[in-house]
Amino acid sequence: MRGIWYLTLGCIAFVAITYFEQLPIIGWLGGLISVAAWVLIVRALIGERGFDFETPFGVGWAAVIGAVTGFVGAFTAWLAQTGNLVGLTTPPGDRFGAAFGFVGASIGIVLWPLFGAAVSAIATLASVRRQRAT
């Protein structure tokens, strides 16, 4: 049940990150914020008692959280870029930039869940090793 809570919290965080990414210039930091969010969510989940992350199931669950939140973030970014591309209020010059954002977001729908799963699994394994060492 705790895993579902962290998954839901992560999805909300990644929708918020998508809104942040819509800001000019500093929105590019959204990728770094996403990596930090995955690490934070996984480390918080590992810190919970009663969930064994030393098993492949635990690492797999962390990877699922990363993949689902990555997909939610990429899909909401794709929706935002699609809205910017075909929106009636978008100035013609901004459509050119929106086209690049649309292509990037379309690729991100495939790559970002994979990247999220990898970052979450690696963060889990690193955190478990750190806990063993102490």
Q: Is 4 left (phi over 0), alpha (psi -120 to 50) or beta?
A: alpha
Q: Which residue has the tokens 């090793």?
A: 129
Q: Which residue has the tokens 């809570």?
A: 5
Counting Cβ atoms within 10 Å, is residue 35 exposed (0-12), middle (13-18) or buried (19+)?
middle
Mean pLDDT confidence for 3-26: 86
Neighbours of 119 (CB within 10 A): 21
Pairwise CA distance, residues 14 & 20, whole Å: 10
Pairwise CA distance, residues 21 & 26, whole Å: 7
Could you report the per-residue pLDDT of 23-51, keeping only the tens digit for each?
877 878 888 999 999 999 988 887 766 55
- Residue 130: band (very low, low, confident or very high) from pLDDT cuts 50, 70, 90: low
Pairwise CA distance, residues 70 & 95, whole Å: 25
Could you report the per-residue pLDDT of 58-111, keeping only the tens digit for each?
788 889 999 999 999 999 999 988 988 888 888 888 888 888 888 988 999 999
Query: What is the reported pLDDT for 19?
Result: 86
Pairwise CA distance, residues 102 & 46, whole Å: 35
Helix H or strand E encompassing 7: helix 2-21
Q: Is 27 helix (H, G, I), strand (E, B) or coil?
A: helix
- Residue 3: band (very low, low, confident or very high) from pLDDT cuts 50, 70, 90: confident
Higher pLDDT, 18 or 113: 113
Pairwise CA distance, residues 118 & 126, whole Å: 12
